[in-house]
Amino acid sequence: MKKILFVFFLMTASLSCFSQNYEVPNYQIQSPEDCDKYNKDVLRAIDWLMNTPPNTEIEKQQETMQFLIQWITDTKAVSINLNTDVVKFSDKDEFFIILYLCGCAKYALENNVKNNQVEMSIAGIELSIEYYNKYSNLLVKDENLEKYMQMKNNGTLIDYIKKNTK
């Protein structure tokens, strides 16, 4: 029991430290070329969002999402199509749209791909599912995310995305 409590304490402390060390980049994006210098900041921002519970550090979350949206919109490093045949939660919660886009961007940056819509969509949905699972006790139940989780558990998510990606 002591071992479990110690591990829990270490995990909580490390998340707290990570959260405290993250600062929203002071960015100046005037052109697509400006985005390249923020690629590492984008990955750090996504990781921070994934480790920050909903309704905490709200202002910092909003500033982080503004930075990410600006980068995703202006960068030439990635081209994301928001396919409404795949992204079904988009009409319910804009936060999950942003997480989806973040998953696509993260996949593209980490795998040096620009426009693989199927693989990026898989990564975007999976990132959204990960956040939803992690903080399900703090979030309103979302039928579409529940369906994605069920598809992932059944091994049908990838086929669903491939079939519906244009």
DSSP string, 10-41: HHHHHHHHHHHH--------SSGGGGGGGHHH
Torsion of CA 135, 93, 44, 32, to 10 degrees: 170
Closest CA to 72 of 25, 119, 106: 106
CB-based contact 48:99 (threshold 8 Å)? no
Domain of residue 95: give its range: 2-164
Mark the ranges of the chain whose per-residue pLDDT is less than 70: 1-20, 89-92
Residue 107 has what pLDDT?
95
Residue 113 has what pLDDT?
87
Torsion of CA 41, 130, 156, 165, to 10 degrees: -30
Residue 10 has what pLDDT?
41
Closest CA to 114 of 47, 39, 64: 39
CB-based contact 86:125 (threshold 8 Å)? yes
What's the pTM value of the predicted model, to 2 decimals?
0.83
Residue 7 has what pLDDT?
38
Residue 74 has what pLDDT?
93
Number of domains, the chain: 1
Residue 90 has what pLDDT?
52
Residue 15 has what pLDDT?
43
